[in-house]
């Protein structure tokens, strides 16, 4: 069935096979036509030239006096020679000349030095072409070899006409031809023959060429069909492969080496496209999964404080509002939960703005001065913990002061949360290299297990859920920090040893 379908494609005008086959046959037909026309023209010229040379050579082999003697002897007005006897074998003159010419059906005429035309012989009394006296005189005056001509006679039949000069070279002295200046042209022989036999041979050769050309095209077609089908096998394989590809099956690939450069390039392009589509679909699936998880985590984070507020409201509605101590406790708890909700909403809005319009104004400034401005706030946040600052002076780079302050505050707050209030140590360092500026926040807390390190910057990811909830965190601080650092063209990395502490390093491009 597949072979039948592929063979049927040859008769579909829009198919590639039909177009290749038809255009190939068209080019071949045009080439054969040009070859046939060229062959016909060349062969016609050759045969005319060959026939004319044969007649000219036979005319040149006869003595010139034979023509003149025969002309005078056959002239009825000549008083010198008697008329030739028709019953007598005349070996001098035209009779002898005609016997020595072996071209059949040849008409011969004699033109004297004055341009007078005299028909000598004409087989079957066929009409012969005749030029004007001026044209004959012009031919006798030519010093070059006379060429043949194709002239139509009175009946409209084309004849091959050959001219032959009798006598010496044309005399240019004052005596003129035949005059006292010397012996010039004594006359002109015109020999003519019908070109119909030659054209019959040419037509026969042309028909033979047409027949052989058609035969060659038929055999070429029969031989080209399997070659064409075999040549287009890689394309058919690609079509079958494409039919098997859909959104759920993008792991199909085209053969890379099929023996055809164009098909290999097309297959490589399709494979690259499929790889990009597969990556795009995977990214889309991952984005959908992240969005689903994000929505679930956000709903969970919002549901917890809302549930708490709802519970306190129910307690108040049951009469607790009449008791000042319970009322104050409930109001404080609801206020804390509302602050938590407000902080969560602000973080979500900030992440949305960073994802939607990831650009902000960066200016060149002294980064160590900005961090020194934060020292009172950071020491207050650390409480009784030991805080150290090691900031390289005059550290310059392109940054947004407010956003970098938020990055440092988030990392410092994270370090404070995971260190002991009494024995905790938190340090902030700033160093500069020729290629980047490094901000490091390190602590001596309990550290982070290796399995948690790859997920620290994921949204809503928390190592200790209960502790994070008590401290008000929702797992968005490190995500916001990571987004801000990336928008600065930098990177962030974390190193941690369980039981020893954690270090977060922010690398920003240095100014050149």
Q: What is the CATH number of the domain that holds 469?
A: 3.30.565.10
Euclidean distance between CA atoms 420 and 430, whole angstroms: 24
Q: What is the mean pLDDT of residues 223-234?
A: 78
In a domain, residue 184? The reply is no
List pLDDT tens digits, range 110-152: 888 888 888 888 777 778 888 888 888 888 888 777 788 888 8
pLDDT (0 to 100) of residue 391: 92
For CA atoms 70, 71, 72, 74, the dihedral sign is: positive
Does one domain contain both 345 and 404?
no
Which secondary structure element, helix H or strand E, spans residue 495, and what is its range? strand 491-497
pLDDT (0 to 100) of residue 9: 56
Which residue range forms the structural domain that includes residue 257?
244-357
Give me the helix-helix angle, 261-317 and 324-356, nearest 10°: 160
In a domain, residue 255? The reply is yes
Pairing of strands 396-399, 107-112: unpaired
Looking at the predicted structure, is the pLDDT value of residue 18 above 50?
yes
Does one domain contain both 350 and 364?
no
> Of 357, 392, 414, which marks where a domain is finished?
357
pLDDT (0 to 100) of residue 301: 67
39-67 burial, b for 16+ CB within 10 Å, e for fewer?
eeeebbeebbeebbeebbebbeebebebb
- The CA radius of gyration of the chain, in Å to the nearest whole number, is 56
Euclidean distance between CA atoms 36 and 28, whole angstroms: 12
Does one domain contain both 404 and 505?
yes
> Of 329, 357, 385, which marks where a domain is finished?
357
Number of domains in the chain: 2
Looking at the predicted structure, is the pLDDT value of residue 101 above 80?
no
SS (H, E, C) 93-143: CHHHHHHCCCCCCCEEEEEECCCCEEEEECHHHCCCCCCCHHHHHHHHHCC
The CATH number covering residue 323 comes to 1.10.287.130
pLDDT (0 to 100) of residue 464: 59
Does one domain contain both 364 and 352?
no
Q: What is the mean pLDDT of residues 192-218?
A: 89
Euclidean distance between CA atoms 474 and 164, whole angstroms: 120
Q: Assign 3-state DSSP to the chain and report helix, strand, coil percentages, each to 5.
A: 55, 15, 30
Higher-pLDDT residue of 507, 348: 507
Could you tell me which of 390, 379, 302 has the C-alpha nearest to residue 348?
Answer: 302
Q: What is the mean pLDDT of residues 232-260?
A: 74
Contact 17, 228 (CB under 8 A): yes
């Amino acid at each position: 069935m597949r072979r039948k379908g592929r063979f049927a494609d040859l008769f579909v005008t829009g198919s590639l096979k039909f177009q290749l086959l038809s255009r190939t046959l068209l080019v071949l037909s045009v080439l054969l036509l040009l070859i046939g026309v060229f062959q016909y023209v060349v062969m016609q010229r050759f045969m005319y030239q060959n026939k004319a040379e044969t007649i000219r050579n036979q005319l040149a082999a006869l003595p010139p006096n034979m023509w003149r003697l025969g002309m005078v002897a056959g002239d009825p007005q000549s008083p010198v020679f008697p008329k030739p006897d028709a019953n007598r074998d005349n070996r001098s003159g035209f009779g002898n000349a005609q016997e020595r010419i072996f071209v059949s059906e040849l008409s011969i005429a004699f033109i004297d030095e004055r341009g007078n035309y005299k028909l000598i012989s004409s087989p079957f009394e066929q009409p012969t072409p005749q030029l004007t006296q001026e044209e004959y005189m012009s031919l006798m005056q030519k010093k070059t070899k006379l060429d043949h001509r194709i002239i139509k006679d009175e009946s409209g039949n084309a004849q091959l006409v050959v001219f032959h000069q009798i006598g010496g070279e044309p005399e240019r002295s004052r005596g003129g031809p035949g005059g006292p200046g010397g012996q010039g042209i004594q006359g002109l022989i015109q020999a003519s023959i019908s070109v119909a036999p030659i054209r019959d041979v040419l037509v026969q050769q042309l028909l033979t060429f047409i027949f052989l050309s058609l035969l060659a095209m038929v055999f070429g077609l029969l031989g080209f069909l399997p070659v064409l089908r075999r040549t287009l096998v890689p394309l058919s394989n690609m079509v079958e492969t494409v039919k098997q590809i859909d959104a759920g099956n993008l792991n199909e690939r085209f053969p890379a080496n099929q023996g055809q450069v164009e098909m290999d390039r097309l297959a490589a392009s399709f494979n690259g496209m499929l790889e990009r589509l597969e990556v795009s679909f995977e990214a889309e699936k991952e984005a959908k999964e992240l969005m689903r998880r994000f929505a679930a985590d956000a709903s969970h984070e919002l549901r917890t404080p809302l549930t708490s507020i709802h519970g306190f409201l129910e307690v108040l509605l049951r009469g607790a509002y009449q008791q000042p101590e319970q009322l104050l406790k409930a109001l404080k708890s609801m206020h804390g939960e509302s602050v938590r909700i407000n902080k969560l909403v602000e973080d979500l809005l900030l992440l949305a703005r960073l994802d939607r319009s990831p650009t902000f104004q960066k200016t060149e400034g002294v980064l160590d001065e900005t961090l020194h401005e934060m020292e009172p706030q950071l020491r207050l946040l650390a409480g009784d913990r030991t805080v150290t600052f090691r900031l390289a002076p005059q550290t310059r780079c392109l940054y947004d002061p407010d956003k970098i302050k938020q990055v440092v505050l988030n990392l410092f707050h994270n370090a404070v949360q995971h260190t002991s209030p009494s024995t905790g140590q938190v340090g902030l360092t700033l160093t500069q290299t020729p290629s980047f500026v490094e901000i490091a926040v390190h602590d001596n807390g309990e550290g982070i297990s290796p399995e948690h390190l790859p997920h620290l910057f994921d949204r809503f990811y928390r190592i200790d859920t209960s502790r994070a909830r008590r401290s008000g965190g929702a797992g968005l601080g490190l995500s916001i920090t990571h987004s801000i650092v990336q928008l600065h063209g930098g990177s962030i990395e974390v190193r941690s040893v369980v039981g020893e502490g954690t270090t977060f390093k922010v690398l920003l491009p240095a100014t050149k």
